[in-house]
Amino acid sequence: MIVGACHAGLGSVAERCRCKLMKLLLVEDNLDDADFLAASLRRHNVSDIELNHVTSIRDAVIQLRLQRFDVVLLDLHLPDGSGMECVDAIQAAESSVPIVVLSGQDDEEFALSILNKGVQDYLVKWEGETRAILRAMRYAAERKRSELRLNYLAQYDSLTEIPNRQHFQEQLERATARARREGRKVALFFLDLDQFKVVNDTLGHDAGDNLLREMAVRLRRSIRAGDVLARLGGDEFAVLLEGISGALEAESIAKGILELIAEPFFVDGREVNVTTSIGITIYPNDNSDVATLLKNADIAMYQAKEQGRNNFKFFTERMHAELLEYHRLEQEIRDAISNEMFTLVFQPKVNLVTRKLEGLEALLRWEHKERGNISPTEFIPVAEQSGHIVPLGHWVLEEVCRTLNRWQAASLPLVPVSINVSARQFQQADFHRRIADVLRHQNVDPSLMELELTEGMLMEDTDLAKHGLAQLKDTGVRVSIDDFGTGHSCLNYLRRFPIDVLKIDRSFINDIDHCEDSQLIVEAIISLAGSLRLSTVAEGVETRHQLNFLVERGCTVAQGFLFGQPLVAREVMPFLEDLIDDAPGFATARLPTNKQTA
Ligand code: C2E
Ligand code: MG
Ligand code: MG
């Protein structure tokens, strides 16, 4: 082992690094060559290089395991290997160390050819002066650093500095292979922050970025050292847990994560509260390849979100069965659309002051050949996820127009008919134009058309929603917010959105009879709507007690089984007729208890 002596002024590269000792491992079995290098370092008074000399690959590997080197100077003819073999062995022992190979005059070409195979530079023995040798070593170190940096960038997320999706997938691949060999289990967690968008929208993107960074730090703390945490993109994170005992352990880790995330964050000096939803899949229980594992965890995560967020959900066999059912239903919806198997029913909305028909809500019905009536609550979500809701919604729009025209042809007075619009439809850039086109083609007065949107659709991206709503209003249709009170409306936005009606969700109406909180909420919504000059429609009114409560609080319109089940178009006609003369209007008892439609 030889240590160089002090020297200054070896050129700019050396000067830059002068403050730092460079540890050099020389792997060279020819002692003359080794002595030559040591002597020339001494001759030039080089003090910032610590030269360590070994004579075989075996010894080099031992040294690399024992200490960190800044560069390896590697002869390619060693007693225990030659050529590329030597390079491979060094790399296997320490992949991050730069390598400069030493070649003789006769194998310079070979040295050149392996330059991009993990070798940063080569030197022809010892044809250059010391200065050239040193420069080669330092450039090699520099090149290796940028190579490592590039590797890092390809594998790590630059915002949070944790592994990215690419890296995570590779780790997952390895982990499942290991688990297969060793008969162990791997859990995959898929996390998605709840309402991260709201943070971004209200506090700004920089705050959002900071939150994600903090999130990564906190998640890191909640898992074990060997577990892999990655950011898959946006507000999605994933965790890979190897050697997990089973669902019970996964559950306790998931609970730990939820608790840790639920603690307030401090972003830019402000307290921010967020929650997360976690989907969990376990290999090999949910027996799958890597791509499917991620997909399964994603599906489970969505289920967790649907069940009210801030919780976790396993992807289980039952979930798998649901998945198959989903695909079956999706196919059947496709067929039912092309075979025109869907029909519409209309539920009356009653003016609580005049007791007359104020409007109608069009609701889809589907009578399945084998399974009988399938509820919209079952098929609408599938139609939404699969995108079938777009053509189906278009059909609803046209069918409502045709029905209005038939009623008009029968010389009946008309009332506005509302249709339910789903997010997928509202998100279409030309949705307003489609509405306008249909109304124009069918020659229907736009004021007879009302669109029911839900809070979630509007709060997702408030700027876009405002723009979309303005476009819809320009067509002349009315807009109402359906199921109001169940989502997370920001009242500020509500004030700025061009809407006409709030429909109080039927869960609140249902609870009026026995829950004081619901009474307060209903009261608050009615008074809020009043101050925003919106009308309120109470959904799902079933009892007289509920009706009285609503009338007393000033609710203007109600809809529900108390007044009637949804009716087919023909059954609506007598109620339209009632509008002509001074008929007594909707007495709740007068209405047919409809058998065929609900
Ligand atoms: P929604 O828009 O809130 O419609 C009201 C639902 O409440 C209807 O269920 C209606 O039959 C039911 N309902 C009305 N009065 C009462 C009552 O007094 N008590 C109870 N318990 N329920 C009552 P339906 O027809 O099963 O529709 C369920 C949901 O499916 C609708 O909720 C709507 O979100 C969706 N939907 C229905 N038709 C369409 C459509 O054409 N397009 C879209 N996108 N969604 C639709
Ligand atoms: Mg509705
Ligand atoms: Mg509703």
Tens digits of residue pLDDT in 4-32: 333 332 333 333 344 478 899 999 999 99
Model confidence at 315, pLDDT cuts 50, 70, 90, reads confident
Nearest atom of ligand 1 to the alpha carbon of 384: 44
**For residue 310, what are its two tokens?**
């801030």
The rounded distance, in Å, linking the Cα atoms of 569 and 399 is: 11
Mutate to test the pocket of ligand 1, among 365, 380, 541 (most ligand atoms within 8 A of CB): 380
Q: Considering only CA atoms, which residue is closest to atom 4 of ligand 1?
A: 363
Candidate from 382-386, 392-396, 418-422 with smallest mean pLDDT: 382-386
Please report, for residues 302, 469, 539, the alpha-carbon distance to residue 200 in angstroms, rounded to integers and kept in the order given.
21, 22, 33
What's the 570 CA to ligand 3 centre distance in angstroms?
23
CA-nearest residue, atom 27 of ligand 1: 376
Ligand 1 pocket residues where CB is under 6 Å: 347, 363-364, 375-377, 380, 389, 393, 396, 419-420, 422, 452, 482-483, 506, 539-542, 559-561, 566
As a whole number, the mean pLDDT across the chain is: 87
List the structure tokens of 92: 């296997």
∠ CA 562-564-569 to the nearest 5 degrees?
A: 165
At residue 16, the pLDDT reads 37
Q: What is the pLDDT of residues 535-570, one digit of tens each?
A: 999 999 999 999 999 999 999 999 999 998 999 999
Task: Give the whole-number percent of the chain exceeding pLDDT 90.
Answer: 59
Ligand 1 atom index nearest CA of 562: 18
Name 184's Cβ contacts closer than 8 Å, sequence gap at least 6: 178, 242, 243
Least confident range from 200-214, 461-475, 482-496: namely: 482-496
- pLDDT reported for residue 22: 87
Distance CA 397, CA 401 (A): 6
Q: How far is the CA of 337 from the centre of ligand 2 (A)?
A: 21
User: Would the pLDDT of 495 be above 90?
Assistant: no
pLDDT of residue 593: 41
Q: What is the mean pLDDT of residues 468-485?
A: 95
Q: What's the Cα-to-Cα distance from 172 to each of 153, 227, 238, 319, rounded to whole Å?
A: 19, 11, 10, 22
pLDDT digits over 454-475, tens only? 988 888 788 889 999 999 999 9
Q: What is the pTM of this model?
A: 0.58
Read off the pLDDT band of 598 (50, 70, 90).
very low
pLDDT score for 322: 65
pLDDT band at 214 (very low <50, low <70, confident <90, very high): very high
Amino acid in the structure at residue 146: S
Ligand 1 nearest atom to the CA of residue 483, by list position: 3
